[in-house]
Structure 1
Amino acid sequence: MRLKAIVLAALASVASAAYWMEEMQHQGVASFNPDKSYQVFRNVKAHGAKGDGVTDDTIAINNAISSGNRCGGGPFCNGTTTTPAVVYFPAGTYLVTTNIINYYYTQIIGDPTSMPVIKGSPNFQSYGGIGLIDSNPYLNSGTLQFKATNVFFRQIRNLVFDTTDVPGTVAGLHWPSSQATSIQNCIFKLSSRPEDDHTGIFMEEGSGGMLADLVFYGGKQGAQFGNQQYTMRNLTFYGSKTAIMQLWNWGWTYKSLNIYDCEVGINMSSNAVGSVTLLDSRFVNVQTAMTTFRGASHVNSTGSLVVENVDYVNVPTVLQGPDGPLLKGNPSGLVHDAGYARGNTYTPNGPREYEDRDQVYFPQPTTLKQNGKFYERSKPQYESYATYAFLSARSYGAVGDGITDDTAALNHLFQTAANTQGAVAYIDAGYYKVTDTIHIPGGVRAVGEAMAAVILGAGPKFADINAPQAVVQIGTPGEAGRVELSDIIVSTQGGTAGAVLIQYNLNPPAGPSSTVAEMPPSGLWDVHTRIGGFAGSNLQLADCLKTPDAAVHADAKCTSAWLSFHVTKKAGNVYVENSWFWVADHDIEDFNNTQISVFAGRGVLVEGKRVWLVGTSSEHHTLYQYQLLNATDVFMGQAQTETPYYQPNPPAPFPFTRIDTTLGDPDFHTDCQSVQYGANTTINSDGSLTLGGNPACAMAWGLRILGSKNVVIFGAGLYSFFNNYNVNCSTLRSGENCQARIFWAGPLNPGSGFSTSTPPRDTGAGNPGKFVMSHRPPFHSNKTTGSTGETADPWVQVYNLNTVGSVSMITRDSKDLAGWNQNLATFANTLALFHY
């Protein structure tokens, strides 16, 4: 009770206090850094920055970032997890005269209650860098310091980037980036002088990622984006010449985009653009909302576009093609687009080139929406909380050195946080070794430090492949409640073949309504699983070197997880954003990022109801990356996967050879018997495919949807780059034959439903026929399954599916439907819409 009273008093006095991060005691450690004096938290003012808008703070800020022999600043380090840092900016204006160079594994965080300004001086000069902050500078060799597809675990939030005084060409931020990275709650103030060329964010490479809650003012381009895939939410542009220049992509999802008073909204006229998905957005006083290179006679799948629930106010041209307007707007009024698609479609057979606004292809799952838009929620930063509300893991007895058993201490911390109104469990940076399950009850709020707060499952409790156990259990089965968790990593150490890294069991609290407004979901932001490839994991190069020349080999000490993330069958109502469920393909600590072989059975398993997976990735699990099993009401936004590099040596499911039918494990022996092989990939008379190139079938699924209903996927990138560590299979020349199949959708029992009959079509394997649909039957029959009123026929809707290395892009109820050679686009193959 005394602690409860202290916390409540602290909350009441917060108005006169600084942001809690600035005032709290910082006890975080870099557990596997040999320098025990290494400092995780750095306040730039403690390193000499003034923040007065007059003093040149460049050197002081760069010192705050680089001190402690960190990874960056030259070609001597390609990545490490041993030097994490939080670089904190108190309120103020920080004048800089050249680039601030960001380092690997860095969180740059400003005070959200009074956002600090990074202001470029009139004499600002770039010396090899790009932008006020350069997160991956170019070396003298002309290459980026860090390989962009290996830039992980970094964040920037709560900053204002001001380039208005800088003449010429400049960017606010250079951000080539990949998984587990984010920019949140930042403002970019850019010059709009005709002689200047300013952009807020310049991103040209990587495999990301998440951007959210950003505002751009002015600039020749508000932002320039090029990356394999990205999810971007709540970006707002005012007065840019071009709001977004889409340089290239395989797949991109924009949600809640707001563009005002710009000449062009999204310029996707590069033929290197694979697909763009746009939903819940608004263009106001924009001359041309979008431009595309894809004209009326376009013959491949590049430039695929899907739009849902977008308003155009005073917009003369909605979509401009190479030969003129493709979609006209209203120069002095409103045009509302409930749904529009342009690209190849499978409904379920195809391909057909589709370009229309047929609303039956845009179902409205109200249970996933709030105020007519798909639900979204930003990572909490607890701006109104006082320092005393944060309960430190180390103050509660946890050591975090990666050696001491911290199980009891963490369980005590989370139970106290659940019982204390207004408390937040603060997981100081460190590796918290646990030998039994960590229980996080409903009601817990928890935040980690530096994305280096790691819960490390180890020991015999998690070792039995036939008796899986949760490392972290969020709620007990049947428990009601909600949690908020952010910036926490769950990992394993050594041979832990029975480890379920995160098990989510919570149900919504009982109430009269199922609306999101009355029953908001739990939230997990930047809650990652990381299996192997880091210091302290005992799953590095010296332990788990790849073995491409050893047939069907899997080292028991490198078999280190049974399942990464599980939403159990009676659980649900959870929002997950920017989480990466990663089985390491390489050793981050190794200078050459040498490949390793680490085995983990299953990626993300969703059995529950009402789940949002926003900007998530799941990679290198043996059986599958994502599986929806009897799930209901699921939103996925730009989900991304990779097949294990070692497969098919050993083939799936090895070493997880025991099939768990209760969890819908794939039976590769049975499933692969339905593959039809031939000399070339062609369409058969029943709409199914014969697969050419003799691709391996016993390979991990990127995505399986079994017996699930009301599933909507706005962008998916399912990639298979390797066969037994050989990358040649994923090229166009090879026939994209790394694996036979990658995406399965159908009932629990193959062959039990979902007819593949379809109207007449072009059955050749060449270019798809043009098919513009205006009237189609609705998704659902009028039959119901009883008193619930639910429709008898479920639906699954996938927009902008992009695959690499799989001969079949879609397998529906054991039949392969979409061939890679029918949907040629960029390096990835693309189709705009799949429905059953």
Structure 2
Amino acid sequence: MRGLSYLPLFLSLFSAVHSATTYDKRVVIEDNADLEAHLNKRVFGAHDDHFPEGHDRLYPRDDAYNHLKDKRAVPLEVEAARNIIKQAQVAQAKKNRNRFRNPIRPTFELRPPRKAAKSSQRVASSSAGDPSISEEVTDAAKLIAEFEAPTYNETLPDLGPGFPKLEKRQGGAFWMEGVSHGAVAIGGSAGYQVFRNVKDFGAVGDGRTDDTAAINLAISSGDRCGNNCGSSTVKPALVYFPSGTYLVSKSLVGYYNTQMVGNAANPPIIRAASSFVGLGVISSNVYVEGADGGQWYINQNNFMRQVRNFIIDMRAIPNVMEGQGVRPAGIHWQVAQATSLQNIQIIMSSRADTTHLGIFMENGSGGFMSDVTFSGGAIGAYLGNQQYTIRKFSFTGCKIAVETHWNWVFSAKSFLINNCQLGFNISAGAGNGQGTGSITIMDTIILNTPKGIASFLSGTNRTSLIVDNLKLINVPIAVTSNGATVLPGGTTVIDSWGAGIAYDDSDSIGYRGKAQQGGTVLFGNIAKPAELLDENGNWFERSKPQYADVPASGFYDVKARGGARGNGRSDDTAALNNALAAATAAGQIAYFPHGIYLVTDTVFIPPGAKLVGEVWSQIQASGGRFNDAANPRVMLRVGNPGDVGSVEIQDLIFGVKAPTAGAILMEWNIKASAKGSAGIWGRSLLVT
């Protein structure tokens, strides 16, 4: 290991083993011989039989080294590695604390354009991940991660009744593992790999091997859009994680236009080591060190990302180092449009001094998150963004479930908050710069929590708050404003309540804001159309289906079986019409491997059809039939007028190849035969 000096005192070796951060399991050391054997086995013996191809052994086992008389050099390096990691974690804690206390917020000022990235400017695959962490720290973090891996608590917490559980299903295989995969249609290099299985890049997933480098290599390989790139839609990647436990000691950095997808049938665990150094276990952006500062991506333009189907276990990461909070986050999610989180469980420390954050979001511009569960930690979701929709977040044992340090137009639906100290803190930043502009909280349950919502409803930068169908169970205070109770709680249901700015259309000059101070009730119980409600009286919702129980044989490949090309040049109109008809008739899901499917006439999506893309496969209108503005033509027709049934469409982009002045991208005719049976998830409409 680079720069690790041997320490002279054997007592430090014994201390290194017995003072290491452990959780439920400890190694029994009877004497010095046991100590030496244990350390040598942990450092040298762990990978003798299954060391993954593509990984470098931290200590080469050459003859000269193995014949050293004093094997105590190995445990001495372990102790030295601990010292390196301690210093690195203290330094990282200062950075994390500063970013938490002073989160960057959008200024919307013009700035000089970023210089276009040349191939040589992009991050090389060999140095994937956060470049601010030195090789010395990286090596030390890996050593300690693997050394202490057997001591980590592998028992997942029982969240209690009502909380979603990511459970292993029978069989365990996910259909993505058994289907063919697409290629870049335009602008990609020959042989570019869209679908990447992390195990093909050297990840092991055994919970004992540090998989950080292998996973970051899977994300970054192929000259993708990293540092000095800004944005690019040319080289997408779907990075797939089979079931397993992936030990990491640095951030997994998601590049632009990347989907990180775990096995939905048996979600993989990403376990952060006690030696973890970084801001987020998974990160969507990287802070650049040095005089220039800045980040890899402009936050308002940080588009096209997904993370879904993971359990993120942070419990081994320290909470406090030398008296200051470490503030690690499960996910650093600084994103904008066409982004989502789904089906994730974040497990944080439940210690009294916990400083863990589930999600850290300092800024961005819109997005969607759904079906995320948080346990433990200082703050479940620490959020700052705009025009954001969040649903089905569940929190248990967090000090604060949700804190917004600023936002514009947040919607929070179907939250479940249990046994926290505070449900929503939307008072942060109020009266000083940008605060929480507005938030709507719908169909939410808070129980066994002293205070439901802490807000700032009057004065400068006051928050506009709407509460709709809020159920309280053993919550003494429902809403406070600047510390004072404005709405008492208890065990009750608040049908509809709000405070903020009301618009009055009776004014002679038009709409004018009328301030409602101190939690004035703006409206009472509002009648809602039954067609839009579920059986419990909540606004109807349905998560994106992932077909975890459908085998690969249940998917109809529109290229391999349907004859479509998806190369952005060939006319795929007839092939897609035939493929959709055949797949629907066979009760199969029409699967679009990544590509651009060019169509010159209308494609019909029949009732009963299910369509799934791969990293936003694109159906693109082109040609003369779509170029007459006086006679517009539909590209995708979903059912015919009067049709009743089901249709499911996801992870596709519908666009045009100009000139297409008369193109109508989609005509939706079908009426759902049951609530939620006809829907679209994770798709975009692009017109250029």
Same fold (TM over 0.5): yes
Question: Which ranges in structure 1 are unaligned for 5 or more consecutive residues?
Answer: 1-13, 510-517, 533-836
Could you tell me how far 1:193 is from its partner in structure 2?
Answer: 2.2
Residues 1:115 and 2:277 are matched in the alignment: no
Indicate the residue corresponding to 1:82 in structure 2. 234
Residues 215-242 of structure 1: per-residue CA shift (max 9 Å, x gap): 0001000110000221000000000001
Residues 150 and 178, structure 1, Cα contact 8 Å, conserved in 2? yes
Q: Which has the higher strand share?
A: 1
Please tell me whether Structure 1 or Structure 2 has the larger radius of gyration of its CA atoms.
2
- Cα separation, partners in 2 of 1:251 and 1:49, compared to 1, 3 Å: same
Measure the CA separation in 2 of the matches of 1:326 and 1:520. Answer: 37
Query: Match of 2:671, SS?
Result: coil
Query: Match of 1:123, SS?
Result: strand
Residues 445 and 484, structure 1, Cα contact 8 Å, conserved in 2? yes
Give the residue type in structure 2 aligned to 1:406.
D
Indicate the residue corresponding to 2:547 in structure 1. 382
- Cα separation, partners in 2 of 1:486 and 1:192, compared to 1, 3 Å: same
Indicate the residue corresponding to 1:522 in structure 2. 678
Residues 14-62 of structure 1: per-residue CA shift (max 9 Å, x gap): 9546111112222x01111341200100000111101110100000000
Could you tell me how far 1:66 is from its partner in structure 2?
Answer: 0.5
Indicate the residue corresponding to 1:226 in structure 2. 384
Could you tell me how far 1:300 is from its partner in structure 2?
Answer: 5.4
Residues 188 and 215, structure 1, Cα contact 8 Å, conserved in 2? yes
Indicate the residue corresponding to 1:171 in structure 2. 329
Residues 1:196 and 2:354 are matched in the alignment: yes
Residues 192 and 198, structure 1, Cα contact 8 Å, conserved in 2? no
Indicate the residue corresponding to 1:597 in structure 2. none
Residues 1:20 and 2:185 are matched in the alignment: no
Could you tell me how far 1:335 is from its partner in structure 2?
Answer: 1.6
Could you tell me how far 1:485 is from its partner in structure 2?
Answer: 0.4
Measure the CA separation in 2 of the matches of 1:59 and 1:15. Answer: 31
Query: Match of 1:373, SS?
Result: coil
Indicate the residue corresponding to 1:284 in structure 2. 447
1:358-507 aligned at under 5 Å gives the runs 359-360=523-524, 362-371=526-535, 372-395=537-560, 396-421=562-587, 423-451=588-616, 453-507=617-671
Residues 308 and 362, structure 1, Cα contact 8 Å, conserved in 2? no
Residues 301 and 344, structure 1, Cα contact 8 Å, conserved in 2? no
Residues 17 and 386, structure 1, Cα contact 8 Å, conserved in 2? no
Measure the CA separation in 1 of the matches of 2:301 and 2:503. Answer: 34
Measure the CA separation in 1 of the matches of 2:460 and 2:662. Answer: 45
Residues 1:106 and 2:258 are matched in the alignment: yes
Could you tell me how far 1:347 is from its partner in structure 2?
Answer: 5.4
2:299 to 127, 133, 148: 148
Residues 1:36 and 2:190 are matched in the alignment: yes
Query: Match of 2:318, SS?
Result: coil
1:200-219 aligned at under 5 Å gives the runs 200-219=358-377
Residues 133-183 of structure 1: per-residue CA shift (max 9 Å, x gap): 111111123322111111111100001111100003210111111111000
Measure the CA separation in 2 of the matches of 1:29 and 1:156. Answer: 21
Residues 86 and 108, structure 1, Cα contact 8 Å, conserved in 2? yes
Could you tell me how far 1:106 is from its partner in structure 2?
Answer: 0.4
2:283 to 134, 141, 147: 134
TM-score, scaled relative to structure 2: 0.71
1:592-631 aligned at under 5 Å gives the runs none
Residues 592-646 of structure 1: per-residue CA shift (max 9 Å, x gap): xxxxxxxxxxxxxxxxxxxxxxxxxxxxxxxxxxxxxxxxxxxxxxxxxxxxxxx
Residues 1:260 and 2:409 are matched in the alignment: no
Could you tell me how far 1:480 is from its partner in structure 2?
Answer: 2.4
Could you tell me how far 1:282 is from its partner in structure 2?
Answer: 0.5
Measure the CA separation in 1 of the matches of 2:499 and 2:418. Answer: 24
- Cα separation, partners in 2 of 1:520 and 1:211, compared to 1, 3 Å: closer
Measure the CA separation in 1 of the matches of 2:218 and 2:364. Answer: 26
Residues 188-233 of structure 1: per-residue CA shift (max 9 Å, x gap): 0001323331001101111111000000001000110000221000
Question: Which ranges in structure 2 are unaligned for 5 or more consecutive residues?
Answer: 1-168, 320-325, 507-511
Could you tell me how far 1:293 is from its partner in structure 2?
Answer: 2.2
Measure the CA separation in 2 of the matches of 1:120 and 1:71. Answer: 25
Could you tell me how far 1:360 is from its partner in structure 2?
Answer: 4.5
Could you tell me how far 1:185 is from its partner in structure 2?
Answer: 0.4
Residues 49-78 of structure 1: per-residue CA shift (max 9 Å, x gap): 011101000000001001111111x22x11
- Cα separation, partners in 2 of 1:335 and 1:519, compared to 1, 3 Å: closer
Residues 178 and 208, structure 1, Cα contact 8 Å, conserved in 2? yes
Residues 1:314 and 2:478 are matched in the alignment: no
Could you tell me how far 1:356 is from its partner in structure 2?
Answer: 4.1
Residues 521-574 of structure 1: per-residue CA shift (max 9 Å, x gap): 401001211123xxxxxxxxxxxxxxxxxxxxxxxxxxxxxxxxxxxxxxxxxx
Q: Relative contact order (C-alpha < 8 Å, sep 6+): which is higher? A: 1
Give the residue type in structure 2 aligned to 1:522.
A
Measure the CA separation in 2 of the matches of 1:117 and 1:80. Answer: 29
Measure the CA separation in 2 of the matches of 1:428 and 1:413. Answer: 13
Residues 627 and 659, structure 2, Cα contact 8 Å, conserved in 1? yes
Indicate the residue corresponding to 2:515 in structure 1. 353
Measure the CA separation in 1 of the matches of 2:331 and 2:497. Answer: 33
- Cα separation, partners in 2 of 1:358 and 1:302, compared to 1, 3 Å: closer
Residue-pair matches, total: 497
Measure the CA separation in 2 of the matches of 1:408 and 1:22. Answer: 28
Query: Match of 2:565, SS?
Result: coil
Residues 184 and 234, structure 2, Cα contact 8 Å, conserved in 1? yes
Measure the CA separation in 2 of the matches of 1:318 and 1:519. Answer: 32
Give the residue type in structure 2 aligned to 1:477.
P
Q: Which has the higher helix share?
A: 2
Query: Match of 1:124, SS?
Result: strand
TM-score, scaled relative to structure 1: 0.58
2:396 to 238, 242, 261: 238
Measure the CA separation in 2 of the matches of 1:456 and 1:399. Answer: 13
Could you tell me how far 1:464 is from its partner in structure 2?
Answer: 0.3
Query: Match of 1:336, SS?
Result: strand
**Aligned CA-pair RMSD:** 1.5
Could you tell me how far 1:364 is from its partner in structure 2?
Answer: 1.9
Residues 1:336 and 2:493 are matched in the alignment: yes
Query: Match of 1:450, SS?
Result: strand
Measure the CA separation in 2 of the matches of 1:275 and 1:340. Answer: 14
Measure the CA separation in 2 of the matches of 1:124 and 1:218. Answer: 18
Measure the CA separation in 2 of the matches of 1:227 and 1:46. Answer: 36
Residues 308 and 338, structure 1, Cα contact 8 Å, conserved in 2? yes
% identical equivalent positions: 39
Measure the CA separation in 1 of the matches of 2:483 and 2:231. Answer: 47
Could you tell me how far 1:361 is from its partner in structure 2?
Answer: 6.3
Give the residue type in structure 2 aligned to 1:441.
P
Could you tell me how far 1:351 is from its partner in structure 2?
Answer: 3.6
Give the residue type in structure 2 aligned to 1:523.
G
Give the residue type in structure 1 aligned to 2:607.
G
1:52 to 178, 195, 206: 206
Query: Match of 1:158, SS?
Result: strand
Could you tell me how far 1:519 is from its partner in structure 2?
Answer: 4.7
Indicate the residue corresponding to 2:246 in structure 1. 94
Measure the CA separation in 2 of the matches of 1:424 and 1:369. Answer: 28
Range moving further from structure 2, 499-508 or 98-107:
499-508
